[in-house]
Amino acid sequence: MMDGDLLPPAILQHKAVVHVRQSTPAQVEFNTESRRRQYELVEIARRRGFRTVDVTCDDLGRSASGMVARPGFEKLVAALCAGEVGAMLCFDAARLARNGRDWHHLLELRGLVEAHVIDLDGIYDPCLPNDRLLLGMKGSISEFELGVIRARMLDAARAKARRGELRISVPIGYIWHREVGLGLDPDFRLQQVIRLVFERFRQLGSARQAHLSLAAEGVFFPRPSDGKRLTSFDWTAIRYRNVIGLLKNPFYAGAYVYGKSEKRIELVDGRARKTYGHGKPPEAWDVLIHDHHAAYIDWAEYERNQMLLAANAYGRAGGQKSGRGGRALLAGMLTCGRCGRGLAVAYAGAPPGRPTYRCDRPNLMLGLPRCLSFGGSRVDAAIASEILPVVEPMAVEAALEAERMHREGEAERRRMAELDLQQSEYDASLAERRYAACDPENRLIAAQLEKHWEAALRRVEACRARLAATDTPDPTAPMPDFEGLAADLSAA
């Protein structure tokens, strides 16, 4: 390390580069004092005698661990190779890189072009053995320090998660209470739509059919409007990803889960790159605590849902295959005894629409003869003759259960429509109060608030129309007469 404040004149003829960096976007937003002190290095460079001082701030919010691209660092290396840099200034010399590969590469380049390093501790000349040793030790200590800090933080987070106290991000329908911890969101409308999704899947047994049913009824689902804070929502038409996200999330079964996904490291252009969000099987989750908080469904139902979703996967071997709306009774249920593939159904012949079961996959893919082909009318009739005597005693009971579920669904739809209307009326009232509190002379603000109020009123009218279209259920109305159904089940 050089003594005194004087630099060789040959160094001062080149430019000085001030490298400003903070590791995360949160540090950029909140740690403003650190950034201010780094920018003060420009004045220090001028006092040292440099006439030209450049500032590289492209690495703000980027870690120096070597796992992310750093355009500012790349520009610095390019300037070094071009011989344009006489000195590099940074808050701490080791902050230029926190991984051995980048640090020692940069140290080697500085020694070749005789560029000095200046930080708050002094001036370093990489051409001098002692300074080179000191800089190498600083880089190694910085890399080691980063690894120790990361390991300690992860160990502390896992220890807290094992107690179920780590406040991780939770899905819609839950919030962290300051005193009691994790609990249900107090918004009753939000709770109702989540329970409605689980109930509809329980009835239909298919995530897609549940979504189609809810979408046909005009059900809305909350979408966070404030990022991950989950304190305000915009209600939009329900999507398939909303349904499948609820069904696959163990939090709704009262389970506290930590470590469901993992990061993976791969080499890209000679550098390590991390990718996140790779799911792990349940047996590999880091933490799983049952009955940790209030649940929308129990754990047994959650496991049944996962098994059913896996079985419903159409392209997966062993998955259930459903008919596509044709008249064939056994569509999607038969497999070829020769090759093991599922039999397809074709409709042809006289009368029109007579089903034919056949295995034509080898013919289509390999040009080989079909494994088999046979008419389906006699097979369907034989199967029906065996099934009807078994299910006939349960026909009335099944019809009554279907009618009961239909009535419950109608009541639930009306309840959801009432909640939607209640929320839209509140939003309209709030928009009206905001408009009334605005200075009418400020037309820029008043016009915008007036538009929001009009949009809220239109939503109120739409909710009222949807509620009016919903029939009011009459719990005292008698059940339809299903006795004739059991008497002639085959015709039904």
Task: Report how far residue 445's alpha carbon sits from residue 133's, in angstroms, rounded to the nearest whole number.
Answer: 63
pLDDT at 276 over 80: no
Lowest mean pLDDT: which of 108-117, 245-254, 256-265, 385-394?
385-394
H helix intervals, 92-176 = 100-113, 129-162
Provide the pLDDT for residue 324. Answer: 54
Are 324 and 342 within 8 A, CB to CB?
Answer: no
Largest CA distance in the chain: 109
Question: Highest-confidence range of 91-105, 121-135, 323-337, by mean pLDDT?
Answer: 121-135
pLDDT at 11 over 80: yes
The pTM (predicted TM-score) of the whole model is 0.62
Mean pLDDT on 460-485:
67
Q: Choose the catalytic residue: 23, 142, 206, 424.
A: 23
Are 419 and 192 within 8 A, CB to CB?
Answer: yes
pLDDT at 305 over 90: yes
At 279 the three-state DSSP class reads strand
Provide the pLDDT for residue 247. Answer: 94
Write out pLDDT tens, residues 190-220: 898 999 999 999 988 889 989 998 998 888 8
Instruction: Kindly indicate the confidence band of residue 256, based on its pLDDT and cuts at 50, 70 and 90.
Output: very high
Are 50 and 85 within 8 A, CB to CB?
Answer: no
Instruction: Kindly indicate the confidence band of residue 248, based on its pLDDT and cuts at 50, 70 and 90.
Output: very high
Are 434 and 449 within 8 A, CB to CB?
Answer: yes
Instruction: Kindly indicate the confidence band of residue 478, based on its pLDDT and cuts at 50, 70 and 90.
Output: low
Write out pLDDT tens, residues 403-445: 777 777 777 778 878 888 888 888 888 888 887 888 877 877 7
Which of 23-28's residues contact partners 24+ apart within 8 Å by CB, and which partners?
Answer: 23/61, 23/62, 23/63, 23/64, 24/61, 24/63, 25/61, 27/61, 28/60, 28/61
| CA–CA–CA angle 36, 38, 40 (5° rounding) | 75
Instruction: Kindly indicate the confidence band of residue 297, based on its pLDDT and cuts at 50, 70 and 90.
Output: very high
pLDDT at 41 over 60: yes
23 an active-site residue? yes
- Cβ neighbours for 348, distance < 8 A, ≥ 6 positions apart: 354, 356
Tokens representing 491 are: 């015709």
DSSP string, 166-219: ------TTEEEETTTEEEE-S-HHHHHHHHHHHHHHHHH--HHHHHHHHHHTT-
pLDDT at 398 over 70: no
Write out pLDDT tens, residues 150-187: 889 989 989 999 998 898 888 999 988 877 788 898 88
Provide the pLDDT for residue 96. Answer: 78
Provide the pLDDT for residue 121. Answer: 78
Q: Please, what is the average pLDDT of the chain?
A: 81
- Beta bridge partners, 54, equal 17
Provide the pLDDT for residue 255. Answer: 93
